[in-house]
Structure 1
């Protein structure tokens, strides 16, 4: 699988990246064997970039990912994790963590912390859970409501760790384009991770974030290419951004599906390949809870998509005017 340098960091990431939230039992339990199998499948299709976070299953995702990668040569893969939420052990079990989206026992509570000390403590704990001596990429995780502290305290701490060679690349990960544009313009991040805002259904990142990233040599890692399900299987009742999709978006997704299939293209393939039309995009992050899902994602990335389809989507107004399109075949 093709690899691209993340910004100017020297860190190489594969076009397709594995998002490990499901390893933390996102929404529903995943067994230990199944978790290991999905990482094995990701490896077998050529994925070498794996993304996780303490938030995912109160550390379960990091532990499972570390265990699954332990038998691989350390120089052959890239791992990113995140800072901003410290995990504090609870004195007694308090039910489950489903209110936060994870089917795990509530053994810890999350504490928002974008201080310099919080960054160091978070990375130290992540390395222990991952079983690694170093982490390749660190993102500030969802600093939406803590932007001032993230910029004034957490970011300089990450910049110092990068200068010291403790981490290879630094950035921020969010579900919105506006604040990430600020990181791109006002800091020296290598990459930003944008979830759900540059997809076939939402090109919010197109006017500002992506041009700014391209101008400054910052890579954009795209998450949520399927908008949490609607673009994988458009139908009434499908999810969009982790909630029930509005009827008008379901209708638009069905129009996209019909257009793609008229060219012999599964909508999943078009959705996954779409972000790569923009030169700032370095990788697409796909979550999977089974080996079959990650193998399908790899197949969709390689599926032929004609330039005619992309042009038709532009002509019919299903993509924002001026949206750059992949080269196609």
Structure 2
């Protein structure tokens, strides 16, 4: 499984593998992960041929960055691409931490508080702090992280700061990462970002990015990295109580996911394989990002990425109304 292809992000020359490792899980997303488990997950990603790793200060209040940096320390720096994010400054809490950070989704002590900051100084400080935690002198990609409620500061101050950092050679590529398409489309149309990271909006269950983001990206030569390909769980394991976009899945979506799963199995593949393969059929999608918290989850993701999804699956999905006719779908290499 070392043959994962690489694609270039926009015009800037930063290469990513079509399958990327999402490091929120090793920041203790929802439940604790040991240092050893985190290191084993990164090692498994490397062994599988993954050479793109995504993290953020938000993930475990810096824990993900520290663990990822440590796990990659002995790897050749030019052999992989690493992305982190800016927009939340981590401010230490005075005295002993009280409680945990589970209200924000992470099983870590509440040693810091997050302060939204998309100012030019905030972006530079965020990156400097990230480099310290990672133990690196540069990162390849920086995304403005979830600027939903801070649009004007992000466009007026944060984005120009990233542009200057790119011009200085401190970072190779710049962009924004969000769970929505409207503002990402604005970034594509109104700025010179290399790439955007879009979570959950171009999946087997939600193709809303096809209405605005993906056509704009294609027109402007901007790359899109797709995260959330399992829609936070429903497309990984559809069952009653499964989550969709971090809440219990509505009955109608659960039914669609179950029908897609049964169809995949009839065609000798898996729903997870189809969910990973689907976004890559669009010409503007440079890669998919799959989060993992263990070596087992990484190996499974790599196996599903490599697994064939027959053309007949996509044909049947369209025929049964589970995918719109206009949505591009992958084709088998032998086709």
TM-score computed with the length of structure 1 as normaliser: 0.99
In the alignment, what sits opposite 2:321?
Answer: 317
Give the Cα–Cα distance (whole angstroms) in 2 for the partners of residues 210 and 203 of structure 1: 10
**Aligned counterpart, 1:32:** 35
Counterparts of 2:160 and 2:6, CA distance in 1? 28
2:206 pairs with 1:202 = yes
Residue of structure 2 aligned with 1:154, choices 158, 173, 184: 158
Q: State the 1:320 CA deviation.
A: 2.3
Per-residue displacement from partner, 1:157-215 (whole Å, max 9, x unpaired)? 00011011110000000000111000000000000000000000100101111011011
SS at match of 1:225: coil
Q: Give 2:276's aligned residue.
A: 272
Residues 109-132 of structure 1 show CA distances to partners (whole Å, capped at 9, x for unaligned) of 000000000000000000000000
Q: Which runs of 5+ in 1 are unaligned?
A: none
Q: Equivalent of 2:237, from 233, 240, 256?
A: 233
Q: How does 1:1-329 map to 2 (within 5 A)?
A: 1-92=4-95, 93-329=97-333
The Cα offsets for residues 90-144 of structure 1, whole Å up to 9 and x where unpaired, read as 0031210000000000000000000000000000000000000001000000000
Q: How many residues align?
A: 329
Q: 2: CA distance between counterparts of 1:151 and 1:312?
A: 43
Equivalent-residue separation in structure 2 for 1:211 and 1:321 (angstroms) = 16
Where structure 2 has 5 or more consecutive residues not aligned to the other structure, the ranges are none
Note the alpha carbon deviations across 1:226-282, whole angstroms, 9 max, x for none: 011110100001111112111111111001111111111110000000001100000
Secondary structure of the equivalent of 1:289? coil
Q: Secondary structure at the match of 1:158?
A: helix
Q: How well do the aligned residues superpose, as a CA RMSD in angstroms?
A: 0.7
Q: What secondary structure is seen at the aligned counterpart in 1 of 2:210?
A: coil
